[in-house]
Structure 1
Amino acid sequence: MNAELTDIRRKVLALPMKARAELAEQLLASLDEADGQEIEDIWIDEAEERYQAYLKGEITARPFADVLREAKEKLR
């Protein structure tokens, strides 16, 4: 997260709950306006960032079976 986003996040989290909820609603609605290609590009960028972090040893991989099992347990 860049410095500008970090600053915005800090300011938003300092807002009263009602204001944060209104802002969250507006932000989520703005995502609905994004076209399919834009969303796909965002996910490609995210995947590339995660892969690079993995290659640098900043994050580790986990077996898919473990992740799936934990997700199913949380849904119960």
Structure 2
Amino acid sequence: MTAIIERVLNDALALPPIERAELIRRLFQSFDVSEDNHIDTAWTEEVESRIEAYEKGLLTASPAEEVLARINRR
């Protein structure tokens, strides 16, 4: 790995989780040259509606560790 990539990676890892997720999304989008963005739009709307519902107390959340432990027990 080049020094520049290493520095960018370290900077990215220092970001809060939501900002890291946004960075990942934008990096993945840079590879997508298709004009079929309706799926991305639908997922964006779904995510935003879930966040809004969570913030209003209409949805609950579980820590990632608990979710992964449940998956691993299956």
Instruction: Give me the TM-score of the superposition, normalised by structure 1.
Output: 0.46
Instruction: Give me the TM-score of the superposition, normalised by structure 2.
Output: 0.47
